[in-house]
Amino acid sequence: MKHARILATALAVGLAPIAAKAQSMSPMRGEVNSFTDVFAVRVFPANPYDRKIQVEIHVYDQDFQPVDARISPNVFQLASQASRPVLVVVPFDGTTERKVRICTESIPFPNQQTQIRAQICGKFFGHRKS
């Protein structure tokens, strides 16, 4: 099972383009074929601000209900103009296809009266091959 997940991860690596600065998350679209009961996506959140921010990664289904995905890491500090890879492993939950949103969220100005949470969501489609 562990090897299968590694294989699925390896398949997903091809999906990820070279991370670019000044983007909040890339890619924002993708399709993944997997031969296991999970599929993996690697995304690159980026910090376009001139200071460090806290970034959270969340996975939702099409109705914006949380998905029990494995996110490594799911909360982290990101330096100014920096980007880093995040690996998301999504279970098919018994289905052969699954659409999910992977969202990068940050509140760059916390502790204000009206806070704005910037959320960039990518749409990803997993296909389970037999």
Q: Which residues bind another protein (CB under 8 A)?
A: 17, 22-24, 26-29, 48-49, 101, 103, 105, 107-109, 112-123
What is the token pair recorded at 57? Answer: 């990664």
Of 7 and 16, which has the nearer Cβ to another protein? 16
CB of residue 37 vs another protein: minimum separation in angstroms?
A: 26
Please tell me the distance from the alpha carbon of residue 57 to that of residue 41, in angstroms, as a whole number: 12
CB of residue 15 vs another protein: minimum separation in angstroms?
A: 11
**14: how many CB neighbours lie within 10 A of its CB?**
10
Of 35 and 109, which has the nearer Cβ to another protein? 109
**Residue 54 contacts residue 75 (beta carbons within 8 Å):** yes
Of 112 and 130, which has the nearer Cβ to another protein? 112
What is the token pair recorded at 120? Answer: 């960039």
